[in-house]
Amino acid sequence: METDTRSRILAAAEDLFVQHGLDATTLRMITTAAHANLAAVNYHFGSKEALIETVFRRRLTWLNDQRIAALDALEAEAKGAPLKPRQIVESYFGVAIRLAASSPGGRTFMRLLGRTYTEPSEFVRSFLAEEYAEVIARYKAAFFKALPDVPQEEFLWRFHFMMGALSYAVSGVDALRLLGPVDESDPEALYTRLMSFLIGGLRAPLPEIQSQAVRKPRAKRATPDRASD
């Protein structure tokens, strides 16, 4: 082996986590794959949870730093003017796709991350929230400024939907395989496809949300947008 034990463990863990999930991956699987002794994980990281946190934080801080840097650059160029929604979407989701495309390890990690957004484990959620706090705040502000006509609640949902689409885009494989054979090998094409979809969804006509108290229970659903369908 070329690298040191610590690095080999990190790589093996990342790989096995995405294959089998966090819980189902045992320390014995990791240390075997890393050609290390079982005790090495506890020696180098302290515990399995600490290893998981290290695996995530290592790449996630880098990812979100990239996002913030991209936003900084856009806002510097705009000199106070609102950004175009497309620019913001591209910088937020583009960074993720590019990480997935950059290296086998990056792709593995993005698949892992996509799966872990919905991870119920408490300690994972807590450091995930911590890692995302700043970047979410920055992008929310940028979007609100760029889309002053879109109600904030509506936008938050759309952002949420977009994150779901991204998650499936990078982690997809399994669910996608249900649909039939598709080509997942070209990240540039995936990027282009996802952007089209996201922008289309983000800029879709605003639905008329009736207040829950007023609406009649079994009323036929109104379809106010895009009458041409």
What residues between 6 and 35 interact with DNA by CB under 7 A?
25-28
Check residue 47 for interaction with DNA (CB under 7 A).
Answer: yes
Taking CB under 7 A as the criterion, the residue among 7, 21, 38, 186 binding DNA is 38
Min. distance of Cβ 50 from DNA in angstroms? 8
Query: For residues 87 and 116, which CB has a smaller minimum distance to DNA in the complex?
Result: 116
Check residue 43 for interaction with DNA (CB under 7 A).
Answer: yes
86 binds, among a second copy, DNA, none (CB under 5 to 8 A by kind): a second copy
HEC letters along the chain: CCCCHHHHHHHHHHHHHHHHCCCCCCHHHHHHHCCCCCCHHHHHCCCHHHHHHHHHHHHHHHHHHHHHHHHHHHHHHHCCCCCCHHHHHHHHHHHHHHHHHHCHHHHHHHHHHHHHCCCCCHHHHHHHHHHHHHHHHHHHHHHHHHCCCCCHHHHHHHHHHHHHHHHHHHHCHHHHHHHCCCCCCCHHHHHHHHHHHHHHHHCCCCCCCCCCCCCCCCCCCCCCCCCCC
Query: For residues 6 and 203, which CB has a smaller minimum distance to a second copy in the complex?
Result: 203
Count, residues near DNA per rule CB under 7 A: 18
Query: For residues 31 and 108, which CB has a smaller minimum distance to DNA in the complex?
Result: 31
Min. distance of Cβ 4 from a second copy in angstroms? 28
59 binds, among DNA, a second copy, none (CB under 5 to 8 A by kind): none
**Footprint on this chain of DNA (rule: CB under 7 A):** 4-5, 25-28, 36-44, 47-49
